[in-house]
Copies of this chain bind each other. A is one copy, B any other.
Amino acid sequence: MEPLSEINFKLVEHKKESNNTKETTRIEVFSDGVFAIAITLLVLELIQTLHSQTSDGLLKIFSDHWQSFLAFSIGFITILVCWINHHVAFEYIKKVDTNLMWINGLLLFVVTLTPFPTAVLAGYLQKESGTALAIFGFNYILISVAADSICTYAYNHHLIEEEHRKYYYSYKKIYRYAIFYTVIVFFICFVSVVIPVFLYIILFAAFAAPKKSASTLNKIRLARKKDNLKH
C-alpha cells in the first residue's frame, strides 16, 4: 500500500496547489483585464481628433495632431512594459493574501490613471511641455513605488516559490532603484525637456526585459563582492 499512499499524497498536494493557483489566477485575470482596457482606451483620444475638425482634409488632421499619435505610442508602451513586468513578478508568486490584493490594487490604480497623463501629453506637449512631461514622470514614480511594494511584500512574506527566492531578490532590487531614478528624472523635467526624454528611453530599455536586467544586476553585485573580498 505504500506506493499508492504516496500517489494519494501527490494528488492531494496537487489539489492544494491548484487551489493556490486558482487564487493567483484570479488576481492575474482581473489585472490583465485592467491592463487590457487601459491600453485600449487610449485610442478613444485618437478618434477624438477626427471629431474636432471635420472640414479639414485627412492629412492635415494627421499633421496637426502628431502629438496625439506620439502620446498614444508612449502610453501604449508604458502600459505594455507595466504588464510585462507584472507578468514576471507574478510568475514566481505562489500565494495571494488580502494585503497583496491591495498593493496590487495600488498598481492597477496607476495603470488605470495612465490614459489621463497620456491625454495631458497629447494636449499640452507643445503649450506646456515641462509640466506635461513632469505629470507623466510623476506617473512613473507611482508605478515604480507600486511595483517595488508588490515585490518587497511578496518577498518578505514568503509568497514566492522557495527555489526562486534568491533570483527574486535581485529582481525586486531593480524596482527599488527605479524609484530613485524616476524621482531624479522627475525634477530634471522642470529644467530641461531633452534630458528627461533621453533618460526615460533608457528606463524603458531597462524594463523592456526585466529578467535580463535583473540577472545583469545580479552579476554586477557578485563581481563587486568578489572585488571586495580581494581587497
Candidates B37, B46, B51; contact of A40 at CB < 8 Å: B37
Secondary structure at the A interface, as helix, strand, loop or mixed, is helix
Interface string of A90-109 (1 = CB under 8 A from B): 01000000110110010011
Evaluate whether A44 and B43 lie within 8 angstroms (CB atoms) in the complex, with A76-B109, A80-B105, A135-B58 already known. Answer: no
Candidates B23, B29, B57, B105; contact of A29 at CB < 8 Å: B29
Report the minimal beta-carbon distance from A191 to chain B, rounded to whole angstroms: 18
A116-124, A141-149, A167-175: which lies at the interface = A116-124
A5-13, A151-159, A179-187, A223-231: which lies at the interface = A5-13
Q: Does any Cβ of B come within 8 Å of A34's Cβ?
A: yes
Decide: B26 and A131 in contact? CB cutoff 8 A. Answer: no
Q: Roughly how many angstroms separate A209 CA and B100 CA in the complex, as a whole number?
A: 11
Q: Roughly how many angstroms separate A101 CA and B47 CA in the complex, as a whole number?
A: 27
Q: Roughly how many angstroms separate A99 CA and B212 CA in the complex, as a whole number?
A: 11
A91 contact set on B, CB distance < 8 A: 23
Decide: A26 and B87 in contact? CB cutoff 8 A. Answer: yes
Decide: A43 and B32 in contact? CB cutoff 8 A. Answer: no
Interface string of A23-37 (1 = CB under 8 A from B): 101111110111111
Evaluate whether A40 and B211 lie within 8 angstroms (CB atoms) in the complex, with A30-B83, A135-B58 already known. Answer: no
Evaluate whether A30 and B32 lie within 8 angstroms (CB atoms) in the complex, with A101-B87, A102-B208, A119-B47 already known. Answer: yes
Q: Roughly how many angstroms separate A34 CA and B39 CA in the complex, as a whole number?
A: 8
Instruction: Identify the closest chain B residue to A90 (Cβ).
Output: B26
A135 contact set on B, CB distance < 8 A: 58
Report the minimal beta-carbon distance from A81 to chain B, rounded to whole angstroms: 9
Decide: A40 and B43 in contact? CB cutoff 8 A. Answer: no
A and B contact pairs by CB, cutoff 8 A, 25 listed: A1-B3, A4-B7, A8-B10, A11-B14, A26-B32, A29-B29, A30-B32, A30-B83, A33-B36, A34-B39, A37-B37, A37-B41, A39-B108, A41-B41, A42-B112, A43-B116, A45-B47, A50-B120, A58-B128, A58-B132, A72-B113, A76-B109, A84-B102, A98-B210, A98-B211
